[in-house]
């Protein structure tokens, strides 16, 4: 079976009826790129840059961040890279006391000062990272993505700061990609519900189901005592996914999904049927997902999606989706 999955690397991820699907990798460090390519990734859809912070003693400098991004770009050899700005806080607290200080002692860290919120309250840190990303964008195809956006004003503020940093670089004659695509994570229900509005403000969406699920069903994604309530098959989650993908389609906004769900075979037919054509996942999941994609037709997936959105509980959804996958794999 391993040999068979190995051969899959060089085959395209196309459905039986010939629709090409993008399978990308999620990474935390530049050194993970070769393995992602080995598994068949056509690019990196999510680079979680905060991992550089988690083990650092002091705030990484612009140069250190730039070096990491350029190393990632070089390792990709021309394949696309989506760099997500710092998603610190809540489940991602730095080991160093100095760096962790602003995000400690919150009553509800997942609802607190985390991610883009922390960046917008710490502009020197945010601007340093944006400069590093922009400078790296001169070296290869890079997109920039903001996490945890929950309101339009927050997105506009982030874009304004990006613009400001671009102007500084221009003034200093430092090269960068003028038209670097700017996107956002859809991982808060308020953003999912306002997807149509957001589609006018960004070049792409990436749906972060890990957080979207926890905020939709009010279940801490890291709390094992209530893990049974944390379910990607919850009908409310599926409804939000359906609406976001449709809003993206109607506005011609690129949309991908980079939560764990993208690498779980039982959800692939549903997501294809809802119209998703791009998935970013932990690299080891790519071969299996590709194999599944190559054995289904979009008509079949649309039928599965139509039926799946009609169930009342996650149990029914999951039972149905698992049955359908077992029929084709
Ligand atoms: C997500 O929330 O789905 C996501 C991809 O981001 P992270 O897991 O880093 O929060
Ligand atoms: Mg997230």
Distance between CA atoms of 215 and 211, rounded to whole angstroms?
6
Give the pLDDT confidence of 251-303 residue by residue, as tens digits.
999 999 999 999 999 999 999 999 999 999 999 999 999 999 999 999 999 99
Residues around ligand 2, an ion, CB closer than 5 A: 187, 208, 211
Q: How many Cα neighbours within 13 Å face the side chain of 214?
A: 19
Annotated binding site for Mg(2+): 187, 211
Instruction: Give the CA diameter of the chain.
Output: 60
Cβ of 45 closer than 6 Å to ligand 1, yes or no, is no
In SS3 terms, 138-194 reads as HHCCEEEEECCCCCHHHHHHHHHHHHHHHHHHHHCCCCCCCCCCEEEEECCHHHHHC
Q: Which ligand 1 atom is nearest residue 258's CA?
A: 5
- For residue 236, give the nearest of 303, 311, 185 by alpha carbon: 311
Distance between CA atoms of 12 and 60, rounded to whole angstroms?
38
Cβ of 266 closer than 6 Å to ligand 1, yes or no, is no
C-beta neighbour count of 266 within 10 angstroms:
20
DSSP 59: P
Cα distances from 316 to residues 27, 33, 321, in angstroms, run 33, 37, 9
Distance 208 CA to ligand 1 centre (A): 5
Distance between CA atoms of 273 and 277, rounded to whole angstroms?
9
Smallest-distance ligand from the CA of 260:
1
Q: Give residue 1's pLDDT.
A: 60
Distance 209 CA to ligand 2 centre (A): 7
Q: What is the pTM of this model?
A: 0.97
Ordered per-residue pLDDT tens for the chain, 329 residues: 677 777 888 899 999 999 999 999 999 999 999 999 999 999 999 999 999 999 999 999 999 999 999 999 999 999 999 999 999 999 999 999 999 999 999 999 999 999 999 999 999 999 999 999 999 999 999 999 999 999 999 999 999 999 999 999 999 999 999 999 999 999 999 999 999 999 999 999 999 999 999 999 999 999 999 999 999 999 999 999 999 999 999 999 999 999 999 999 999 999 999 999 999 999 999 999 999 999 999 999 999 999 999 999 999 999 999 999 999 98
Residue 39 tokens, joined: 């598994």
Distance 324 CA to ligand 1 centre (A): 27
Provide the annotated active-site residues.
258
Q: Whose CA is nearest to atom 4 of ligand 1?
A: 208
Q: Ligand 1 pocket check: which of 259, 262, 264, 279 to mutate, most ligand atoms within 8 Å of Cβ?
A: 259
Distance 292 CA to ligand 1 centre (A): 23
Flag whether the ipTM exceeds 0.85. yes
């Amino acid at each position: 079976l391993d040999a068979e999955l190995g051969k899959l690397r060089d085959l395209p991820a196309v459905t039986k009826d010939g629709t090409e699907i993008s399978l990308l990798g999620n990474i935390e460090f530049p050194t993970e790129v070769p393995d992602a390519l080995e598994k068949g990734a056509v690019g990196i859809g999510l680079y979680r840059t905060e991992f550089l912070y988690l083990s650092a003693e002091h705030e990484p400098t612009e140069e250190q961040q730039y070096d990491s991004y350029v190393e990632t770009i070089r390792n990709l050899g021309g394949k696309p890279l989506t760099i997500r700005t710092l998603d610190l806080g809540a489940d991602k607290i730095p080991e160093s006391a100095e760096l962790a200080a602003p995000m400690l002692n919150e009553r509800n860290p997942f609802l607190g000062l985390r991610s883009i919120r922390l960046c917008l309250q710490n502009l020197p840190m945010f601007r340093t990272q944006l400069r590093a990303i922009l400078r790296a964008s001169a070296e290869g195809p890079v997109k920039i993505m903001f996490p945890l956006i929950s309101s339009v004003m927050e997105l506009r503020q982030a874009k304004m700061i990006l613009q400001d940093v671009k102007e500084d670089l221009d003034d200093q004659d430092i090269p960068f990609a003028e038209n670097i695509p700017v996107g956002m994570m859809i991982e808060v229900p308020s953003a999912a519900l306002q997807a149509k509005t957001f589609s006018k403000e960004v070049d792409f969406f990436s749906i972060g189901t890990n957080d979207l699920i926890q905020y939709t069903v009010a279940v801490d994604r890291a709390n094992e005592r209530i893990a049974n309530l944390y379910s990607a098959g919850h009908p409310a989650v599926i409804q939000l996914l359906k609406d976001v993908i449709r809003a993206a389609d109607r506005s011609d906004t690129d949309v991908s999904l980079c939560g764990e769900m993208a690498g779980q075979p039982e959800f692939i037919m549903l997501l294809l049927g809802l119209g998703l054509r791009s998935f970013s996942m932990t690299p080891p999941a790519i071969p299996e997902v590709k194999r599944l994609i190559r054995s289904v037709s979009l008509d079949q997936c649309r039928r599965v999606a139509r039926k799946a959105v009609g169930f009342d509980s996650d149990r029914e959804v999951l039972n149905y989706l698992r049955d359908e996958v077992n029929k084709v794999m």
